[in-house]
A and B are shown apart, each in its own frame.
Chain A
Amino acid sequence: MSISIAQRERAYRAYNEFFDLAERKRRWHPFNDVPWEKMDRDKNSEEVAICLETFCGVELYVPDYTANGFNLTRNIFGHAWFQANWGYEESKHGLVFREYLIQSGLRTLEQYYAFEDKIFGQVWNLPFHTRRQMTCYGALQESATYLIYQAQKEKAKREGAELLEKIFFFISRDEAAHHGFYRKVLQLEMEDDREGTISDLSHVVANFQMPGVGLIPEYDERLKVAGVGISSDHFLQQGIFPLLKVLGTDRRELIASLQKSRMAAAAARAPEKPELAPVQA
């Protein structure tokens, strides 16, 4: 898909806005700003371990996320530079989860490396193959991730786990910012091509899966632990509906677009009617 200078400039401005805010208000140091001295082993449990290990596993695919993201966006400054910043921020998330697992004693180094080997033994591939569809995916996925981490932050607060509360504060704030960037880009895409953008969004919502599906060991079992995932109704209310609203659309338009796409796909698959041979006299 070609992109005009005006579109590139708008993407650049969206990135600058994201970057400026990040530099001024959102940077944090994984060792200096996280109060590691408040580690309270009594508040840990195997459930906490499974949550953090699963989150860590998802974040460990940063090399694949960024490699694929760069390939898709490398000729557009605003998007490619966002990928670089996004990868840097996500890399800190994986690092902090790893540190917590080891420092808390929830996992030994040997257990951690065995887990890491399983993660790095698989490769994450793009779930969608155009930049706009991946922007839709990014907006939804970052929203879901934010909601999951935000719930973890609230849980840590209720339980008086100050260290985890701070960790999830930093991380969920990053995810909210990432979601904000993707949302902004989607608003720009809507201005350029409303119908096409809604069509892409409906396709992505219909085929959406979190990145850990099929990659994280025993993922389905892990999802049974409270807080690892997000329920579809929560995602609908707190993730999908707010996104539709900010884009100036609604669920009815989304579904209509999806059904139109399905009908077009079905028509394309249907065999053409053979031409009737002329009747012989």
Chain B
Amino acid sequence: MNDTEIHSLIGEAVAFAEPRLKGASLKPEDTIAELGINSIAVLEIVGYLEDKLGVRFPDDELAQLNTIGGLSDLIRGHDVAAQPAQKS
């Protein structure tokens, strides 16, 4: 999965959890707090990514999710290129 695909998927996940952010231009340095994404929305974003990628992220790795870039790192860290998408 390349950076563009990861970025696009994160955009989808964010819009799923926070519809007001649909179409927002998300930058790696944008913080979760600045975007007004609360704790439950973070869990929804992660759940969406897990379903799409067919992986399960350990809870303790979610502590790094302070930024949009952190979400990208989470995906890259799990070598999801080899994982089939579970849902369309």
Contact stretch, chosen from B6-14, B20-28, B43-51, B78-86: B43-51
- Smallest Cβ distance from B82 to chain A, in angstroms? 22
- The yes or no answer to A135 lying at the interface (CB within 8 A) is no
Q: Would A255 and B39 count as touching, CB distance under 8 A?
A: no
- Smallest Cβ distance from B43 to chain A, in angstroms? 5
Distance between Cα atoms of A259 and B40 in the complex (Å)? 11
- The yes or no answer to A42 lying at the interface (CB within 8 A) is no
Which residues on the A side are within 8 Å of B60 (C-beta)?
Answer: 237
- Chain A interface category by residue count: 20 to 34
- Chain B interface category by residue count: 10 to 19
Q: Would B42 and A241 count as touching, CB distance under 8 A?
A: no
Q: Would B66 and A233 count as touching, CB distance under 8 A?
A: yes
Q: Would B47 and A252 count as touching, CB distance under 8 A?
A: yes
- Smallest Cβ distance from A202 to chain B, in angstroms? 7
- The yes or no answer to B5 lying at the interface (CB within 8 A) is no
Q: Would B66 and A251 count as touching, CB distance under 8 A?
A: no
- The yes or no answer to A45 lying at the interface (CB within 8 A) is no
Distance between Cα atoms of A241 and B38 in the complex (Å)? 15
Known: A231-B33, A251-B59. A236 touches B39 (CB 8 A): yes
Known: A202-B40, A231-B33. A236 touches B47 (CB 8 A): no
Q: Would B39 and A241 count as touching, CB distance under 8 A?
A: no
Of residues 28 through 83 on chain B, the ones whose CB sits less than 8 Å from some CB of chain A are 32-33, 37-40, 42-44, 46-47, 59-60, 62-66
Q: Would A208 and B47 count as touching, CB distance under 8 A?
A: no
- The yes or no answer to A232 lying at the interface (CB within 8 A) is yes
Distance between Cα atoms of A232 and B18 in the complex (Å)? 16
Q: Which of B33, B46, B47, B59 contacts A232 (CB 8 A)?
A: B33
Distance between Cα atoms of A250 and B42 in the complex (Å)? 14
- Smallest Cβ distance from B37 to chain A, in angstroms? 8
Known: A251-B43, A251-B47, A258-B40. A233 touches B59 (CB 8 A): no
A-B contact pairs, 13 of them (CB 8 A): A205-B39, A206-B38, A231-B33, A232-B32, A232-B33, A232-B38, A233-B66, A234-B63, A236-B39, A236-B42, A252-B47, A255-B47, A259-B44
| Leading 7 A-B pairs by shortest Cβ distance | A206-B40, A237-B63, A232-B39, A255-B47, A251-B43, A205-B40, A236-B39
- Given A206-B40, A208-B40, A258-B40, 5 further pairs, Cβ under 8 A: A236-B39, A236-B63, A237-B63, A252-B47, A255-B47
Show the binding face of A for B, using Cβ within 8 Å: 202, 205-206, 208, 231-237, 240-241, 250-252, 254-255, 258-259
